[in-house]
Structure 1
Amino acid sequence: MNSVSRQHPIFPAWPQFDDEERGALARALEQGQWWRMGGGEVDSFDREFAAYHGAGNSLAVTNGTHALELALQVLGVGPGTEVIVPAFTFISSSQAAQRLGAVAVPVDVDPDTYCIDVDAAEAAITPRTRAIMPVHMAGHFADMDRLAKLSAASGVPLIQDAAHAHGARWAGKRVGELDSIAAFSFQNGKLMTAGEGGAVIFPEGEKYDELYEKAFLRHSCGRPRTDRRYLHGTSGSNFRMNEFTAAVLRAQLGRLDSQIDTRELRAPLLASLLAEIPGVVPQGRDARVERNPHYMAMFRIPGIDEHRRNEIVDALIERGIPAFAAFRAIYRSEGFWETAAPDLTVDELARRCPNTEAIYSDCIWLHHRTLLGTEQQMHEIATIVGDTLAAV
């Protein structure tokens, strides 16, 4: 492998923090109560996060995987049921269902947006299906118009995996204004973070208010808010967020919009520059996506295999680009098969998911902090990608 000697670009650091986070931590410390049942930071964050996304309620939890698991559970997902998930996603999307004893059913994705293929999801519905889980890949919405029609026609509810989609807008609506529960992650690399954390948001309406109350009970060991006699009303676990995490997230939420504004300026430029490189195809964008927060800058190099893709990623990292290999097809990880897997082989699933097979082998993504860089740095990234492809 030949290398081209150039100075490495210096991108903004991630996570980002300043005196807002420092002050928030001190505020949480000095209130003297460090868990949500005694303090005020988690409750305040829930109100602010719900309002930001146009939701009726938000429930802050320990992490994004638990957010998915809790959302699935309150919709009746458990042993003997199935959940339809995209085959191209981080494995938490399927494992949240599998840990509840439900079979995760992978379906193919769109080759342009990398989001769930609605036709494939429809074909996978059976009498055991309890939920369809679209993943808003890299911040790009799945086709929520068609998915809403499918949900209404089939009676199968949607659960949005919005781990990448903080602040996204689809056809005039925020995530919480779409008629489905959504789950978010605040893991260290996410668009707003406290190292870990998650949230489930519920749209406005009596039906969703009831689901929120069920979720609150289950996330707090089944114990009502005012209980003093250990009268646990349902089974559950401890998914409660602590006060320090919520305090940091309140500060992070305050700067999210300005960061999205910057990424929305940089991402189209970078995509256009990458598209000029022979063989490179950036992730597409549906015109109905009004605001994409760009958790990743993703692009494919169709025709290459996984080995060459990995070599390219390694070379980009050596040149100072925070590059990553795309998610593996979930059915190509051993963990997928440990429990509650479908009664199909890897080869059978691969034949059903040709787009996923191609994308997981030839796709590369760049960390969103690159899109917080300067306009000149978008040109530098494209130059480095082009030089690397020519050299590897």
Structure 2
Amino acid sequence: MNGGPRVRTAPFPVWPQFDDSEREALVRALDHGSWCRYGGVEVDAFEGEFAKYHHAAGALAVTNGSHALELALELIGLRPGDEVIVPAYTFIATSTAVHRRGGIPVPVDVDPVTHCLDPAGLEAVATDRTRAVIPVHMGGLVADMDAINAWAEPRGIPVIQDAAHAHGAMWRDRGLGELSTMATFSFQKSKVVTAGEGGALLLPGELYGEAFSRHSCGRAPDLSLRTASSNFRLSEFSAAVLRVQLGRLAEQTARRERRHEELTAVLAGIPGVIPQGRDERCTVNPHYMTSFVLDPGELAGLSRDTVVQALLAEGIPAFGSYPAIYRTEAFRAAENGAVRVEDIARRCPNAEELGARGIMIPHQVLLGGHREIDDVAKALAKVLAQLPRTGGGQP
């Protein structure tokens, strides 16, 4: 950043990764001639393969991850004014989906180690209007589904897993489709399975027919229009690409898991760096990102955003973490039950810390080798040692 030599001059592995397999799949869909799922074969095949991969009774492919969340909320009958508990630290789409269905997202704090929704906070924010809870598997680490389901089931509150980061993740060696809840996924360009855009839901078997109707303009199997809904159908071209991408997921996940273990070990050895922790019950983690927090006790006065800028200058892909959702204009612009931002912030200290001092390294870095891991660690240590301590530690 000051004009000296960069730590990293070679490119990191590119994302998305593709080869002639995707080209052949696109031509196959093109030649089939039916580019919509009606009459096509690719979407149906992908849904079957995606459901099997996640040990689910069924899967429904949709246009994107946001629509997957909206459709899941539609399926549970969310009505205007209903409340949905969401993590305070997540990408804004988790709460926006609630807003778009007329509901009120209620943020709850996250665990400081896992960065996932903290089940201990559920009871304090629940009311007689609570209609659902949406845990997010942050970075691919599955939230504490044992505790969340144990809290929700006796209260009759549906759980919807936001698994946009967690393709192929497993909890206690069980696929996400075995956890007695719906789960939603994104295939946006940065995700570990991607077609540029797209999404999916994992569904209990009895919900597939209703979900299919609601994702296709409310059509019943006989094509009669029986309910008011929208068009969330995925194209045959996207599904053809996703089938190939899904076929690479297991091998890529294994590579990322090996490199993630190396990277977090070296990051933890840098003073003031606190990597996202583990939960041993999450037995497969695709590691959509490697995230860590700058400890204000060790690194007081060091701006997170300046650290990110310096890492980029050193040739390391890095991003500031998500802001706490209640700190965004998008959250404040919608109906939130007249709760003040500062009141939410007081009950969400961990989301505050992550939003202000968290840094993310994207998953394609983990598809490299030992040199890539060494360069990330070397660059971060260099940046933290040389940057001036100014700015009061705020981003």
**Corresponding position of 1:299:** 292
Structure 1 residues 331 and 226, CA gap change in structure 2 (3 angstroms): same
**Corresponding position of 1:147:** 148
2:356 partner amino acid: S
Deviation at 1:163, TM superposition (A): 0.2
1:51 partner amino acid: K
Deviation at 1:263, TM superposition (A): 0.4
Paired residues for 1:189-200 under 5 Å: 189-200=190-201
**Corresponding position of 1:386:** 381
Whole-Å Cα distance in 2 between the matches of residues 172 and 41 of structure 1?
29
Alignment of 1:210 onto 2:206 = yes
2:112 partner amino acid: P
Alignment of 1:349 onto 2:349 = no
Deviation at 1:209, TM superposition (A): 2.7
Q: Deviations over 1:64-91 (max 9, x none)?
A: 0000000111011120211000000000
Contact 2:133 2:159 in 1 (8 A): yes
SS in 2 for 1:184: strand
Deviation at 1:125, TM superposition (A): 1.4
Whole-Å Cα distance in 1 between the matches of residues 332 and 255 of structure 2?
40
Structure 1 residues 13 and 117, CA gap change in structure 2 (3 angstroms): same
SS in 2 for 1:237: coil
Deviation at 1:287, TM superposition (A): 1.2
Deviation at 1:302, TM superposition (A): 1.7
Whole-Å Cα distance in 2 between the matches of residues 257 and 24 of structure 1?
19
Q: Deviations over 1:176-211 (max 9, x none)?
A: 111100000000000110000000011xxxxx3332
Contact 1:101 1:339 in 2 (8 A): no
**Corresponding position of 2:327:** 332
Whole-Å Cα distance in 2 between the matches of residues 40 and 376 of structure 1?
42
Deviation at 1:235, TM superposition (A): 0.9
**Corresponding position of 2:12:** 11
Structure 1 residues 305 and 60, CA gap change in structure 2 (3 angstroms): farther
**Corresponding position of 1:254:** 247
Whole-Å Cα distance in 1 between the matches of residues 239 and 270 of structure 2?
43
**Corresponding position of 1:53:** 54
Deviation at 1:288, TM superposition (A): 0.8
Q: Deviations over 1:139-195 (max 9, x none)?
A: 001001101101122211100000000011111211111110000000000011000
**Corresponding position of 1:368:** 363
2:215 corresponds, among 198, 208, 219, to 219
Deviation at 1:11, TM superposition (A): 1.2
Deviation at 1:370, TM superposition (A): 0.4
2:313 corresponds, among 299, 313, 318, to 318
2:276 partner amino acid: Q
Deviation at 1:306, TM superposition (A): 9.9
Q: TM-score, normalised by structure 2?
A: 0.95
Whole-Å Cα distance in 2 between the matches of residues 3 and 143 of structure 1?
45
Count of aligned residue pairs for this structure pair: 384
Whole-Å Cα distance in 1 between the matches of residues 160 and 59 of structure 2?
14
Whole-Å Cα distance in 1 between the matches of residues 154 and 221 of structure 2?
37
Over the residues paired in the alignment, what is the CA RMSD in angstroms?
1.3
Whole-Å Cα distance in 2 between the matches of residues 357 and 305 of structure 1?
16
**Corresponding position of 2:39:** 38
Contact 2:326 2:341 in 1 (8 A): yes
SS in 1 for 2:319: strand
SS in 1 for 2:303: helix
Whole-Å Cα distance in 1 between the matches of residues 241 and 205 of structure 2?
27
Deviation at 1:3, TM superposition (A): 5.8
Contact 2:85 2:105 in 1 (8 A): yes
**Corresponding position of 2:120:** 119
Q: Deviations over 1:245-291 (max 9, x none)?
A: 00000000000111000001000100000111110011000111111
Whole-Å Cα distance in 2 between the matches of residues 336 and 12 of structure 1?
35
Contact 1:3 1:388 in 2 (8 A): no
Q: Deviations over 1:22-72 (max 9, x none)?
A: 000000000000001121100000000000000011000000000000011
Higher mean displacement: 376-385 or 105-114: 376-385
Gaps of 5+ in 2: 388-395
Deviation at 1:119, TM superposition (A): 1.2
1:210 partner amino acid: E
SS in 2 for 1:59: strand
SS in 2 for 1:165: coil
Contact 1:115 1:142 in 2 (8 A): yes
Contact 2:173 2:284 in 1 (8 A): no
Q: TM-score, normalised by structure 1?
A: 0.96
